[in-house]
Amino acid sequence: MSLSKGKQFEVKFKEDFKRSIPNSTIDRLYDQISGRKSIRNICDFIGYAYPNIYYLECKSHLGNTFPLSNLSQYEKLATKVGIKGVRVGVVIWFIEHKKVIYVPISTVTKMLEYGEKSINITKIEKQGYRYIEIPSSEKRVFLDSNYNILPALLGEGD
């Protein structure tokens, strides 16, 4: 059985994060296979690059809009917002648009407060929500993404 594009993107994300952020480390928290739906990891990856720790959820999506209901880890991730040196967000690969963005969980919280149901890649900039487009170059299937802008652009609460 072949890996889904989402699982392949996670592998690519880990490689790109490690390659593009000097002196960093990143670990994949593997999905629980015990059959208990009540046991869920906080996110897909925990990374570290002095002085920040990153809690990162990776998603891949076809189409313009990523439904916020697909971010099942939101509640757990939101508990990490506001802790000094902690960066919490979701990395979304919009496959058809050939774009990768980082959306801080604090932005997701704002979107939910304003009644948004999804993250629309064609509207997020016009809506004024905070996000970071990750510099990426197109390859045959995936993108080579450079995450080294995250330490410089992310502040407390991002």
Report d(CA 157, CA 146) in Å as an integer.
22
Predicted pLDDT at 59: 96
Q: Which amino acid is it at 65?
A: T
pLDDT tens by residue, the chain, 158 residues: 345 788 899 999 999 999 999 999 999 998 766 555 656 789 999 999 999 999 999 999 999 999 999 999 999 999 999 999 999 999 999 999 999 999 999 999 999 999 999 999 999 988 999 999 999 998 877 899 999 999 989 887 78
Report d(CA 155, CA 121) in Å as an integer.
22
Report d(CA 21, CA 65) in Å as an integer.
28
Predicted pLDDT at 32: 67
Predicted pLDDT at 2: 47
Element (H, E) at 124: helix 124-127
Report d(CA 106, CA 150) in Å as an integer.
15
Q: 100 with 145: CB under 8 angstroms?
A: yes
Predicted pLDDT at 93: 96
Predicted pLDDT at 38: 59
Report d(CA 76, CA 12) in Å as an integer.
24
Cα angle: 5, vertex 123, 156; to 5 degrees: 80
Q: 45 with 135: CB under 8 angstroms?
A: no
Tokens of 60: 């891949």
Predicted pLDDT at 84: 94
